[in-house]
Amino acid sequence: MNTMFAVEIESLPNPHDYEIQLASLYILSDQGRRPVPGTITGVGGGLSSPDRWPFLINKDRRSDHGSGFKKPAEHFFETNLRSKVIQPLEQFTVLWADPEQPARQIETTCRIRNVTPIASPSLQ
């Protein structure tokens, strides 16, 4: 049976961004806690932050911040989250283009902070 999880994630500091970035995702996962095909929805920024932005992670691993971001380097990113088990402390990567040098890829490591089941036949 599939389960929908509310997933809190955070970026790990790196030379390109020392600030920890937060996001919340909604992921439908199989019994092995791996994402099923379909769109993953998310909101970047902390839930109490005034700066939040929606995004989608498509089944092809390409992600979209939406039309509010005009430059392709800011609009799209890639992630290997779909190949991971949805559990606390699981790490995954996000690849995005440097807005100043769009041909340059930057890799950010993120980790799952918290996983909360929000919908499943067994929760009824």
For the segment 43-97, what is each residue's pLDDT rounded down to a tens digit? 888 767 778 878 888 887 677 666 666 666 666 788 999 999 999 999 999 988 7
pTM > 0.85: yes or no: no
Q: Is the pLDDT of residue 124 over 60?
A: no
Sequence-distant (6+) residues with CB within 8 A of 99 are 71, 73, 74
8 A C-beta contact, residue 8 and residue 67: no
